[in-house]
Amino acid sequence: MYKLFASICVLSLALTVRANEVIVNGGFETGDFTGWTVTDSPGGTGSFFVAGGTNAPLSGNTTVGPRSGNFYAVSDQFGPGTHVITQSFTAAANTGYLLSFYMFVNDYATAFGADTQYGGEADLIAGGANPLLAPMTTQFYYADTQVIGGIPNPYVHTSLDITGDVIAGNTYQLRFLESDSTSPLNVGVDDVSLIATSTSTVPEPKLLFFPLALLAGIVVYQTRRKAQAQS
């Protein structure tokens, strides 16, 4: 009886594992940058924009548009500059983190006979650090992908466990960066997700109700059997 009860308790503990989405508005479906911070280099042109359709908002360059839904984030400009979007989160103890996002980089600079752009990047920087100048703690993706024949590049999906890249209690910024030295360069971002999964085995009261109720039933049953045997 007690072995059965122990097994039930272990099952109840396992059921406490939860997965929660950390990123706010990861698909930009609010139609704006709710949850995100946009930062542009001083003196530069352009920025990141939330857009729909298959044309960059300033240059009109062709893109693949949203990866899903109606909107996506895309950088656009007429001259050199660096543009970033960031979202902060604080790493929790006893928690695993799975990062996923879709990103494309369209470098049109070769149309002007040069390709000296930096490109697009997804990385992690310290919380509170300058989004434009902070060194990355971890790089997740980088590309400077030329557009050939006017056909825009597709999204590249990145999915990886970043648990080992964060320290519990520390705050970080997830950063998507575009930097160009000529023009134009379009970096698209969509469907950003950061799933936090608790690895704690502390049971919740409602999860303990079932094994305790079952144990009580077993005790009552055993007591009645003994009473019947003695009568």
**Structural domains in the chain (count):** 2
∠ CA(127), CA(73), CA(33), 5° rounding? Answer: 55
Hunting for tokens 């310290």 — which residue is that? 126
CATH code where residue 92 lies: 2.60.120.260
Share of the chain above pLDDT 90, in %: 66
Note the pLDDT tens digit of each residue in 83-119: 999 999 999 999 999 999 999 999 987 654 455 568 9
Residues 31 and 116 grouped into a single domain: yes
**Which residues are CB-contacts of 80 (< 8 A; sequence separation ≥ 6)?**
44, 45, 180, 181, 182, 183
Residues 171 and 210 grouped into a single domain: no
**Identity (one letter) of the amino acid at 67?**
R
39/231: higher pLDDT? 39
Residue 219 and residue 90: Cα distance in Å, rounded?
46
Note the pLDDT tens digit of each residue in 127-154: 999 999 999 999 999 999 989 888 999 9
**Which residues are CB-contacts of 72 (< 8 A; sequence separation ≥ 6)?**
27, 28, 50, 51, 52, 65, 66, 188, 189, 190
pLDDT of amino acid 199 = 87
pLDDT of amino acid 219 = 45
pLDDT of amino acid 145 = 92
Residues 177 and 231 grouped into a single domain: no
Residues 167 and 214 grouped into a single domain: no
Q: Average pLDDT in the 28-53 region?
A: 96
Residues 112 and 170 grouped into a single domain: yes
Residues 131 and 218 grouped into a single domain: no
Residue 213 and residue 219: Cα distance in Å, rounded?
10
What does the DSSP 8-state code read for residue 62?
Answer: B
Residues 94 and 112 grouped into a single domain: yes
The verdict on pTM exceeding 0.85 is no
Residues 32 and 88 grouped into a single domain: yes
Cβ neighbour number for residue 218 with a 10 Å cutoff: 14
Containing structural domain, residue 133: 18-200
Residue 208 and residue 231: Cα distance in Å, rounded?
35
184/167: higher pLDDT? 167
Q: Average pLDDT in the 43-59 region?
A: 94
Residues 168 and 104 grouped into a single domain: yes
Residue 198 pLDDT more than 70? Answer: yes
What does the DSSP 8-state code read for residue 148?
Answer: B
The tokens for 2 are 């007690």
Residues 7 and 36 grouped into a single domain: no
Taking the C-alpha atoms of 39, 41, 46 and 47 in order, what is their torsion angle to the nearest 10 degrees? -20
pLDDT of amino acid 42 = 93
Residues 23 and 92 grouped into a single domain: yes
Residue 177 and residue 132: Cα distance in Å, rounded?
8
Residue 8 and residue 178: Cα distance in Å, rounded?
52
Residues 10 and 50 grouped into a single domain: no
